[in-house]
Structure 1
Amino acid sequence: MNEITTSMQPWQQFLAEQGFRFEQTRAFDAIGPEPMLTTEAAAGGFVAPLTDLGLMDFSGEEAAHFLHNQLTNDIEHLGEQEARLAAYCSAKGRMLASLLVWRRGNSVLLELPREIQPAVQKRLQMFILRAKVKAADASDNHVVLGIGGAQAGAALAPWFATLPAAPYAKADAEAGTLIRVADAFGAPRYQWIVTPEQARQAWPQLAQTLRPAGAALWRLGDILAGVPQIVPATQERFVPQMVNFEVIGGVNFKKGCYPGQEIVARSQYLGKLKRRMALATLTVDSDGAAIAAGMEVFSAADAEQPCGMVVNAEPSGPREFALLVELKTAALDDGSIHLGSAPGPALRLQPLPYAMPDAA
């Protein structure tokens, strides 16, 4: 794999000096200076530069109203001390992006993978028309640090006197914005959004308390928390309910129209949902195996047709992977699901960390 050696921003250059690497397999994906941390080490405390994430800044007096009419969640009533998940859908109700959204003054910030940001931002900008809204790429003006584990609170205390008390609560201070997201590894997780200069100043102190880790560990935490992320291979493949997005708070069914709203609502209210997302683990035969979003899975009960698709996958140990998998609900009852083909490696289904409303 070829390492990115040109067009690096000062923050990426700083991380390279700390032993991080950046490879072209995923846009600006930070690979940690030591082998992948175990879940036990992550539970103790870690800090990961989330350089694979991008930020869009929508500013102006009509920014919230504009995004309210584009996204699946209520943006007009989004408070200053909270963040929300939201999806951006096509006219057919299929997810183009999964987003973390929060306010900052007169701006609304949208976080999503850098890989899909340019196309999503361009599409959203097409609909601004005469609205009093300006859209900008804020990715290089901000650093996103993922911080989790038992020592996270102590590590953040020098900059934040009070931590957000629950997932998707938000705190602002001179040091930037702190958002608590879904817990994983048995402990809270936080995203600290800060300027590159502040991040460089804070890093040595953070690294004294927390283990530096690659962005893959953060994405593993998202998988274990049951929070899907739409990537290029899965754009326009899922209605939000197929990946449990309404269960984790990403869809508001009482708000007004947005692209695909009729189909999303119809999926919710007309009959039982026939596809859902599950958490699974997988053991592979060799080191370096590539398990990725978009790969098909098959049920032993129907070897001819795929019964679902990998939503996200990350290594969880030597020859071990954790996956979020979208499946036909009937396949969940079959009990034997395999990657790639019916004779392929068997998935071990795990309980999700949240209750499903349509569970038997």
Structure 2
Amino acid sequence: MSTLEQNFPMMIKQNKAITGVADLADGYACILSQQSLIQVNGDDAASFLHNQLSNDVEHLEEGEARYAAYCTPKGRMLASIYYWKNKQDIYLQCSTTLQPALQKRLQMFVMRAKAKLEDVSENLSFLGLGGTQAQVFLQQYFAQLPTAINQTVNGEYGVLIRRADAFDQPRYQWVIARTVLEQVLSTLQAKLKIIDSQIWRLGDIYAGIPEVREQTKEQFVPQMVNFELIGGVNFKKGCYPGQEIVARSQYLGKLKRRMAIAKIEATNVALATEIYSEKDPSQPCGMVVNAETSFGESTMCLVEIKLADHEDGKVHLGSIDGPLLQFQALPYAYLDITE
């Protein structure tokens, strides 16, 4: 983390506490410090990645970003990836906890392909922005803002991506050189409320966007965390590690496990904590995928769970005596495609 980014906690303290969604409406910004970026370039970059990831890379166009899973041969997710193209280079964004192992594993399979992988995180910052004034602020640096979710705009000030909406507002991710961030920081602080990135991750939970981290790697086939529903799996592309298992899960029989949003009256909920249904308290029925405190004493979670137990609704955190999960509506439907 740069010295500049280390100053952000002080800026956060200078703002009033965020007590609810209304405090975000005017505009906010945060440093997404738990993200890393791998640049892949070379004549074979697209074809190499196409054969490794669960989504189409060969037909990726500039101006769009996509999700993809990187899986074991058994179809379990080693990482969740968000990727886009800038000229001939392809950028893979993932959790900082997984980046070294992901890059090392991908490098093992480059072999004779003309593809070079490089961690470029050190010279870049990830900014998350939202609220009405965020759009006004960004128009100073980008002639046109991305209007569709997962649309990207490349410019002299970096890459701007429209991310999934949350808190009833559009959200943007700005991948910006740290030297450029220094130039815009004073204006940023004057125009927008500087917040903790925990609130951005809370927005991802409300949007139903999972992120695999070190605690949860190799736990899920993509459909268990709704990954194909957010565009992270292409079932028409060729082979990739785990493709047979992922395809079989989709087409042979009914999907029995999915991801849901739940509110829990507790704090400090750990990732990968198991959950238990009152129907069968002897064994877990799922686990916590992501969790963030929600403006107070409760926590919002993404949980992977057996559909039968989700429908029953009487599920507890950690043990059958733990806090009850209060299930919330997802922003997309999944029950219809499991029939």
TM norm structure 2: 0.96
Are 1:95 and 1:237, in contact at CA under 8 Å, matched by a contact in 2?
yes
CA separation in 2, counterparts of 1:196 and 1:230? Answer: 26
Residue 100 of structure 2: which of 112, 118, 124 is its match? 118
SS in 2 for 1:266: helix
Match of 1:312 in 2: 290
Q: 2:129 aligns with which of 134, 141, 147?
A: 147
Question: Where do 1:160-179 residues align within 5 Å?
Answer: 160-179=142-161
- Distance across 2 between alignment mates of 1:140 and 1:40: 34
Alpha-carbon spacing, 1:37–1:73, altered in 2? closer, same or farther (3 Å): farther
Per the alignment, residue 45 of structure 2 pairs with 63
* Candidates 218, 221, 230, aligned match of 2:212: 230
More helix by share: 2
Is 1:46 aligned with 2:28? Answer: yes
> What CA deviation, in whole Å up to 9, does each residue of 1:31-65 have, x standing for no partner?
86654553222233210111110000111010011
Instruction: Confirm or deny: 8 A CA contact 1:32 1:214 kept in the other structure.
Output: no
Letter of the aligned partner of 1:340 in structure 2? G
User: Structure 1 residue 332: deviation in Å?
Assistant: 1.2
- The answer to whether the 8 Å contact 2:198/2:292 transfers is yes
**Amino acid in the other structure paired with 2:333:** A
**DSSP 3-state at the match of 1:305:** coil
Counterparts in 2 of 1:75-154, with a 5 A limit? Answer: 75-154=57-136
Alignment of 1:182-331 (within 5 A): 182-284=164-266, 289-331=267-309
Does the 8 Å contact 1:18/1:33 carry over to 2? Answer: no
Residue 13 (1) aligns with residue 3 (2): yes
> Is there any run of 5+ residues in structure 1 with no aligned partner, and where?
1-8, 22-30
Residue matched to 1:5: none
Per-residue deviation, residues 207-260 of structure 1 (Å, max 9, x unmatched): 222110111111111111000000111100000000000011000000000000
Whether the 8 Å CA contact 1:37–1:217 is kept in 2: the answer is no
Structure 1 CA distance for aligned equivalents of residues 136 and 34 of structure 2: 26
**Structure 1 residue 152: deviation in Å?**
2.0
Q: Within 5 Å, which residues of 2 pair with 1:325-344?
A: 325-344=303-322
Residue of structure 1 in register with 2:55 after alignment: 73
Is 1:358–2:337 an aligned residue pair?
yes
- Give a deviation string over 1:167-206, Cα, whole Å, max 9, x none: 1001111111101111111011111011001111112212
Would the aligned equivalents of 1:48 and 1:145 in 2 still touch at CA under 8 Å?
A: yes
- Aligned CA distance change for structure 1 residues 222 and 32 (closer, same or farther; 3 Å): farther
Distance 2:291 2:268 in 1: 9
Match of 1:103, SS?
strand
SS at match of 2:302: strand
Residues 188, 68 of structure 1: CA spacing in aligned structure 2 closer, same or farther, 3 A cutoff? same
Aligned residue-pair number: 337
Unpaired stretches in structure 2, ≥5 consecutive residues = none
**Contact preservation (8 Å) 2:268, 2:293:** no
Are the structure 2 counterparts of residues 340 and 353 from structure 1 closer, same or farther at C-alpha, using a change threshold of 3 Å? same
Report SS of the residue matched to 1:120.
helix
Cα distance between partner residues in 1 of 2:331 and 2:338: 13
Give, in whole Å, the separation in 2 of the partners of 1:32 and 1:254: 49
Structure 1 residues 85 and 18: alpha-carbon distance in aligned structure 2, compared to 1, 3 A threshold: closer
How many percent of aligned residue pairs carry the same amino acid?
50
Task: Return closer, same or farther for 1:47/1:135 CA change in 2, 3 Å cut-off.
Answer: same
TM value normalised by structure 1: 0.90
Tell me the SS of whatever aligns to 2:228: coil
1:36–1:296 CA distance, 2 compared to 1 (3 A)? farther
Q: Does the residue aligned with 1:67 lie in a helix, a strand or coil?
A: helix
